[in-house]
Homo-oligomer: A and B are copies of this chain.
Amino acid sequence: MAWNTNLRWRLPLACLLLQVAMVVLFGVFVRYQPDADPHWAEDLKRRNLSSDLDNEFYYRYPSFQDVHVMIFVGFGFLMTFLQRYGYSSVGFNFLLAAFGIQWALLMQGWFHSFHDGYILVGVENLINADFCVGSVCVAFGASLGKVSPVQLLIMTLFQVTLFSVNEFILLSLLEVKDAGGSMTIHTFGAYFGLTVAWILYRPNLYQSKQRQSPVYHSDLFAMIGTLFLWMYWPSFNSAVSSHGDAQHRAAINTYCSLAACVLTAVALSSALHKKGKLDMVHIQNATLAGGVAVGTAAEMMLMPYGSLIVGFICGIVSTLGFVYLTPFLESHLRIQDTCGIHNLHGIPGIIGGIVGAVTAACANSEIYGQEGLAHAFNMEGFNGNWSPSLQGCFQAAGIFVSLAMALVGGVIVGVILKLPIWGQAADENCFEDAIYWEVPEEEKNHASHPEDSTLKPPEP
């Protein structure tokens, strides 16, 4: 199949149309929330707050910036491990995220911040928009190297929509707690992305196999992504938790889980190699699984040792997934998962949902205090007949809803993306920046240069 990969009209049109739509919709719907409105000073008095510091901005802005870094540098650079796909990894991630956050502000706004005909946005909306886009970045990981930027924009449009619907069902209808998004972001994003990749299966992808591997420096670039994801994950899981102890606890739990995860990922990586050598793929990815898996429970009373146990298990499961499951998915289920998102977001996401359900089901007023329990699970929302085990059941239901939405949505979006009109590359041209980017000329004959001249002594 030789598709036309010249995007000269398709990509500009897609970008401009979407952006014009955003301008119009923002014009009609989006306004500032009271904390970002110039009437704030009067508002402060009316709400009897003592100082400007009570502005939501000061509670959430530092966490927001950390999350922002995770989406753009974290996910962007994590995917630069491919030898000839760095521009696309960082650049397309940048593009889809920049569009996605706008569309997410609208979609999530209609569901959660809609008052008197307007969406009122503040810093928490910015964080949630970044979260929503995070699930698109996850899904992108499965299709990395095989889709065009036009396909990515379309996928983002649909996935953000579905994400918001799913999130509304979970958070507002099922009253599920999922501050760090184990279910809404990771489980949904991963299985959506895997389903899309399944529909977009490329039988002759082996023709691009020589580019589907890293070079030395590309793996170092990817570590920049890994580390920023790893370091800022405590901010991710605590960013939209309740003020005070919940944010504090979420950060501590995530910190613990991630630390444990590193050790077991390293252990398994070495144990599964016949010479005991470490594999960069595992270090780059499996070390993060602990953050995914405490996404739901981090703000609950998971306890530091509980977090360690979750991280411990996920480091093992995730590394095993990379070694055994990813090849199996490709060969038997025809799912080509470029980044192994099933191991980093899929399974750990489900584990996270289960851990959350169990932790919620174990809640009681002895552990949380009467007031703390009401606060932690928004009891007033349940009209009094709330019980921990009921919460646990709803939490568990959230996992299945997310999976169902991901699979159904993924099939629909996959079919749309399969149309041969979006400028996707042929099987033998995957994982190659030069299809969509102006690549430095001299690079083509750059790297091999030393070999050509037999006159020069080899490098020491």
Contacts and interface: CB of A to CB of B under 8 A. Distances in A.
Interface residues of A, number: 160
Contacts of A52: 59, 243-244
Interface residue SS majority, chain A: helix
Q: How many copies does the complex hold?
A: 3
Interface stretch (A21-29, A181-189, A196-204, A329-337): A21-29
Interface in A220-243: 220-221, 223-224, 227-228, 230-232, 234-235, 243
A57 B312 CA distance: 26
12 contacts: A7-B277, A26-B256, A30-B305, A32-B245, A52-B244, A86-B217, A98-B287, A121-B252, A216-B446, A219-B440, A451-B452, A459-B460
A113 to B, nearest CB: 12
A245 B368 CA distance: 34
A310 B383 CA distance: 46
A226 to B, nearest CB: 8
B369 A42 contact: yes
A182 B212 CA distance: 44
A276 B369 contact: no
A90 B440 contact: no
A134 interface: no
B244 A438 contact: no
A50 interface: yes
B7 A244 contact: no
B459 A456 contact: no
A378 interface: no
